[in-house]
Amino acid sequence: METAVVDTPQSDKHRKIIHLDCDCFFAAVEMLAHPEWRDVPLAVGGAATRRGVIATCNYPARRFGIHSAMPTAKALQLCPHLVLVSGNMAHYREVAEQIFAIYRRFTHLIEPVSIDEAYLDVTDSTLLGGSATRIAEAVRQQVREETGITVSAGVAQNKFLAKVASDWNKPDGLCVITPEQQAEFMVQLPVKKIPGVGPRTQEKLMGLGVGTCTELQALSLVELQNHFGRFGERLWQLSRGEDTREVRTHRERKSVSVEHTYSQDRPDLASCMDQLETLMADLEQRYERHRESRQILGLVVKVKFNDFNQTTAECRSEHPHQGLFASLLEEAWQRGSRPVRLLGVGYRLGPKEEEAEAEQLPLF
């Protein structure tokens, strides 16, 4: 739904949000360093012998069905001649900082989502006639010229629509959803495009006869809450393109965690319990730099089974000990009762005194 419209002057009603997402970022950086890899299937990820997963891959690799989070062993089955590199995170961070420095030329209201993704609020910008569309085009051009990386952008009046739009014309695309186009855009949007709608939620929605946002809008708020709990209200809002979240320039860490993927599945609960002491020691080491300023409010255990289904169990506690983690691990393991490929443990953290109203971040 690409358009070349120029934004209308700012009003109290409409914000101007740009979502920027670098195209296959890690792979793109590798292709710049190794031009001979540009047209061959390439992936950045862990070795298959160590049960690694794909972090990202280029578009030639995607044509074989490879995608991020796929086990490396499966990716190599789909494409035996796949070029696999372990990656260089320090170099990726350097390139990302170059890109974010370009973003800062246009606004100081930047919310990083990840190393290669960010929201920009340009509502009050007077650059380029105050046009968010023209600002997005200028950002993309400068990033491409100065770093060689292509960036896809979405422009809309809120974060949800901007993020959906940035994925609409990938790679190297620009999609603008004006306030006047919002209702029409939502009519055609598949529910799988809504953040938080994974395979299981999508399957549940399909069971209700819902595959598009139009069909989702037909369900009442009460129906959605009955089926999906608190997430039902969020579904009701997003199906209408409504999102009041602001672009936040700082997000406080709300958790700290560690996890480990095992080269051989842990066959039973007892063998998982044997790993707790090591995981807790690693967690304590990671928590050390937060100890003076952040209180522990809760404990979490994550279990990923050998079929890649995963679950978490948590409890509130200010005093972590192995017995509590063991109880949570047993609770989580009982939900699958089968071999485990990954275990994780974490702490929920209280806010800093001066930042009590902070946004929740994912634990893992």
Active site residues: 117
Say whether 121 counts as a known binding-site residue: no
Say whether 116 counts as a known binding-site residue: yes
SS3 of 59-104: the string is: HHHHCCCCCCCCEHHHHHHHCCCCEEECCCHHHHHHHHHHHHHHHC
Burial call 296-315: b when 16+ CB within 10 Å, e when fewer: bebbbbbbbbeeeebebbbe
H or E element in which residue 149 lies? none
- The encoded tokens of residue 335 equal 């939900």
**How far, CA to CA in Å, does 99 sit from each of 90, 195, 275?**
15, 25, 40
CA within 13 Å, CB half, 213: 25
Q: In whole angstroms, what is the distance from residue 145 CA to residue 162 CA?
A: 23
Sign of CA dihedral 249, 250, 255, 261: positive
* Rounded to 5°, angle at Cα 348 from 343 and 354: 150
The binding site for Mg(2+) comprises 21, 116
The binding site comprises 21, 116
